[in-house]
Homo-oligomer: A and B are copies of this chain.
Amino acid sequence: MSDLRYREALNRALREEMLRDPDVFLMGEDIGVFDGAFKVTEGLLDEFGDRRVRDTPISENSIVGLGVGAAMLGLRPVVELMTINFSLLAMDQIVNHAAHIRYMFGGAVSVPMVIRMPQGAGNQLGPTHSHCFEALYMHVPGLLVAVPSTPADALGLLKAAIRDDNPVVFIEHESLYSERGEVPDGEHLVHFGSAAIRREGSDLTIVGISRMARTAEKAAERLADEHGISAEVIDPRTLRPLDLDSILASLAKTNRCMVVEEGWPHGGIGANIGALVQEQGFDDLDAPVMRVTGADVPMPYAKALERLAFPDVDRVVAAGLELMGRTTAA
């Protein structure tokens, strides 16, 4: 085990896969000479040269498109978009092209590419740089969607994503880049579609998405320490496919379920899991599936507002109490 930052784990994943497979290469804005806007690709240009670490112009849609073409011929491009907000410019290549090529052409070709990008609020980056768009990609058949929340998962999922033959939307979180965690030393792969139980519990199930998996874990500690409530915390790790089994198994034990996410409420990840859980676990539910989500607003810049616009530990604790029928913290 090593103690690595999330950003370092990602860097290690890229490096290991580039060493392992000469078809893996990187493209993105300022990933080379600048070492990446968030320093994930630090040192890789020096190590692998500019054939395999390619700085691009600011042309999101076409960068992804070039990746799609290269992937169709069997290369394994890993495209970095500087943040997920800018991925809306590449939505056509990601959805209308990358996701659908295999199906549309009768299975004759695959698109083994990874589109990496960070999302999330917390650094006052304001309404054009802070959003969470995992729900937009989760909606689309043909894509795989990963939302790692720990350094170990960042490593294992990114390596799995690069080896997978499907287009993967790989969503990092800006506020996690400097977070540390234990990472296995040898070859470490995390399979898509297998959730992690972050904490076992018996009173309620909290599903946390992306960074909110960590927020949920901290809230569960508080619920236990301060309120004697035993919450089980599940981090699905991938949203497409989703390991619904683990969530339903937990629900069967706890009979109460909450989903915590940073993105917008309507049509969010919580809505999807809420709908699935009530469909497939209706008889296990003692109360409605509860959602704690980001506010239904563009992310404001001012700290005083940004704080309120996405869930924090206090809110999850309060929601947990409410779901258990205890007085809320408010």
A interface residues, Cβ below 8 angstroms from B: 61, 85-86, 88-89, 91-92, 95-96, 99-100, 103-104, 126-128, 135-136, 138-142, 240, 242, 264, 266-272, 274-276, 278-280, 282, 285, 287-291, 296-298, 300
Contact = CB atoms under 8 A, between A and B. Distances in A.
Nearest to A137: B267
21 contacts: A88-B92, A88-B95, A100-B127, A100-B298, A104-B127, A136-B139, A139-B264, A139-B268, A141-B264, A141-B296, A240-B266, A271-B272, A271-B274, A272-B275, A274-B278, A278-B278, A278-B289, A279-B288, A279-B290, A282-B285, A282-B288
A182 to B, nearest CB: 32
A275 B289 contact: yes
Most buried by B among A128, A142, A274: A274
Nearest to A290: B279
Contact of A300 (B103, B138, B139, B279): B103
In order of increasing CB-CB distance, the 3 nearest A-B pairs are A274-B275, A100-B298, A271-B275
Contact of A267 (B127, B271, B288): B271
Given A278-B288, A282-B285, 11 more contacts: A96-B128, A100-B127, A103-B127, A104-B127, A104-B298, A141-B266, A141-B298, A240-B266, A275-B289, A279-B289, A282-B288
Nearest to A126: B104
Q: Which of A269, A280, A282, A288 has the most CB of B within 10 A?
A: A288
A99 B95 CA distance: 21
A319 to B, nearest CB: 12
Contacts of A274: 271, 274-275, 278-279
A263 to B, nearest CB: 8
Contacts of A276: 271
Interface centre among A135, A139, A268, by most B CB within 10 Å? A139
A100 B128 CA distance: 9
A298 B89 contact: no
A61 B280 CA distance: 40
Contacts of A126: 104
Nearest to A93: B88
